[in-house]
Amino acid sequence: MSSSVLSAPMSSIGVPAEIKPDELRVALTPDGAKELVTQGLEVLVQEGAGYGAGINDEAFAIAGAQIVSRERAWSAHLIVKVKEPQEEEFQFLREDMLLFTYLHLAAYPKVAEALLKSKATALAYETVQLENGSLPLLAPMSEIAGRLAAQVGAHLLERPQGGRGVLIGGCTGVRPARVIVLGAGTVGWNAARLASAMDAEVMLLDRSPERLRNLEADRKGRLMSVVSSRGLIERLIPSADLLIGAVLSPGDRAPTLVDEEMVKQMKPNSVIVDVAIDQGGCVETSVETTHTHPTVNVHGVQHYAVGNMPGAVPFTSTEALVSVTLPYILGIAGRGLEAAITERPELLSGLNTIRGSICHPGVAKALDIPPRHPMACLN
């Protein structure tokens, strides 16, 4: 990507339709498109891109967007998506474009390879990080994924779904399900809260006593917070009816907290929901699944590891995503990447690839590729 393109405003924004299996979200809403058009920007929305989220082409057209072919949408200067490019989309990657989407390159090395080969500049929603460590563009999807994890887990515990036949909240005189949540970030806390609200017995584990202490004021129901350790996990795993993996290392692969031997110790027909699968998973036996075929059975334990969980509720997810990405899209398109980074320094941590280099240390570590400093990448 030339320095002139890096520094110049981007006059066109492309919104391709998502083609990842069962991905029904779209990266822009009509209201978002109208905001961009009002700023004098050209918005190119692929025909049918919003159908899965309940948004028709007419709504985008009324907002001022142009309804175009896939090729035309990908020809824009700034491409906004929801999920990482799929293999059939690699042909559209090029040096004079900026891709802004969820990438999770640690889990998808082929995507990283394609980005490096094309020399495309790619910003990842999930690595945009504020000074306080929060991840503003990942947070809404993490909130949704956490709530879905408890909801899906409760459903999978039902016998017709292959589960143990346990009602997550139990009933009078009968103990509820025991739910163990690994990680007290946005995903884990939302999973624990919802499971607790369904009257499950919940144990929320995290390595940070400070994080658990901060959550203590909002703790309700049968929810216990415990400082995590490997020994504790080993002791608790056999008692779980539902295990939710919710750990995150921004840009890097998720750590493996539950190995195969631990899974073998779990109750027959118990359930694992590995929300960390889009970063490689935190359970050794997890393999990525889809909404169409969401579970696999390993050692008698149901594993749910869908890589795009919020895609199950595309209307809610699309609205939530665009509410946080739109200010960044406006800044990048209206002022150019360099100026946008000056105004919003957290965008620098979102920079994953540029000119054939990896610019995020966590991503570089996961892919075993020497990184370049983000500022050096821009110069």
- Distance, in Å, from the CA atom of 372 to the CA atom of 164, rounded to the nearest integer, reads 49
Per the residue annotation, which of 22, 241, 274, 278 is the catalytic one?
A: 278
- Distance, in Å, from the CA atom of 97 to the CA atom of 75, rounded to the nearest integer, reads 8
Number of Cβ atoms within 10 Å of the Cβ of 218? 9
- Distance, in Å, from the CA atom of 366 to the CA atom of 226, rounded to the nearest integer, reads 29
Within 13 Å and on the Cβ side, how many CA atoms surround 259? 5
- Distance, in Å, from the CA atom of 181 to the CA atom of 270, rounded to the nearest integer, reads 14
252 an active-site residue?
Answer: no
Number of Cβ atoms within 10 Å of the Cβ of 357? 19
Say if residues 67 and 57 touch (Cβ distance below 8 Å): yes
Say if residues 25 and 314 touch (Cβ distance below 8 Å): yes
Say if residues 16 and 79 touch (Cβ distance below 8 Å): yes
Entry field: residues in the chain: 379
Cβ-Cβ contacts under 8 Å for 371 (sequence gap 6 or more): 357, 358, 359, 360, 361, 363, 364, 365
- Distance, in Å, from the CA atom of 273 to the CA atom of 183, rounded to the nearest integer, reads 13
Beta bridge partners of 44: 14, 66
Say if residues 321 and 82 touch (Cβ distance below 8 Å): yes
Per the residue annotation, which of 104, 274, 303, 360 is the catalytic one?
A: 104
Say if residues 326 and 57 touch (Cβ distance below 8 Å): no
Say if residues 217 and 192 touch (Cβ distance below 8 Å): no
Q: Find the farthest-apart pair of alpha carbons in the chain and give their distance in angstroms, rounded.
A: 70
199 an active-site residue?
Answer: no
- Distance, in Å, from the CA atom of 79 to the CA atom of 68, rounded to the nearest integer, reads 14
Give catalytic residues, as residue numbers. Answer: 104, 278
